[in-house]
């Protein structure tokens, strides 16, 4: 209310529930790179991180296979973010790990299938 009274602008960081839509005629090389970057490239450090994929059924299997290959490369580069060659740091809190496990469990309960990862190592 105070901001509004002085005609100030509000700035809210609410996170996103962003989807990436993939049509049947999409360039799958570009799509694969875009998805990997949008989902993992900034490690959740921005509100536009992709959280959902909506894939045309004709490209579903191909995109899924490409994403598995892409994530295989990422998991090889998880570690201490101060080390050269590390792309992605590990979970840094037990709370984060528990939230991850709950999210995976919930996805499976709702009919989801874990295609890659889904485990704490």
Residues 26, 52, single domain; the answer is yes
* Number of folded domains that form the chain: 2
Distance separating alpha carbons of residues 121 and 117, to the nearest angstrom: 10
Residues 51, 15, single domain; the answer is yes
Q: Is the pTM of this model over 0.85?
A: no
pLDDT in tens, the chain (121 residues): 566 677 666 666 666 678 899 999 999 999 999 999 888 876 666 777 888 899 999 999 999 999 999 999 988 888 888 899 888 887 778 998 899 899 999 999 999 999 998 888 7
Residue 62, domain extent: 2-90
Distance separating alpha carbons of residues 104 and 96, to the nearest angstrom: 12
Q: DSSP per residue over 30-63, as a string?
A: HHHHHHHIIIIITTT-STT-EEEEEE-TTTHHHH
Residues 55, 17, single domain; the answer is yes
Residues 85, 107, single domain; the answer is no
The CB density around residue 85, as the number of other CB atoms within 10 Å, is: 7
Residues 63, 98, single domain; the answer is no
**Catalytic residue list contains 13:** yes
The CB density around residue 35, as the number of other CB atoms within 10 Å, is: 20
Residues 24, 81, single domain; the answer is yes
Annotated catalytic residue within 47, 72, 98, 115 = 47
């Amino acid at each position: 209310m105070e901001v509004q009274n002085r005609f100030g602008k509000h700035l809210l960081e609410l996170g996103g529930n962003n989807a990436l839509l993939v049509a049947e005629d999409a360039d799958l090389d570009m799509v694969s790179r875009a998805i990997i970057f949008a989902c993992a490239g900034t490690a959740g450090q921005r509100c536009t991180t992709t959280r959902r994929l909506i894939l045309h059924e004709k490209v579903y299997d191909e995109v899924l296979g490409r994403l598995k290959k892409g994530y295989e490369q990422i998991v090889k580069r998880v570690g201490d973010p101060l080390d050269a060659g590390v792309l992605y740091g590990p979970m840094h809190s037990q709370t984060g790990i528990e939230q991850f496990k709950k999210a995976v469990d919930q996805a499976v309960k709702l009919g989801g299938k874990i295609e890659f990862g889904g485990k704490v190592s």
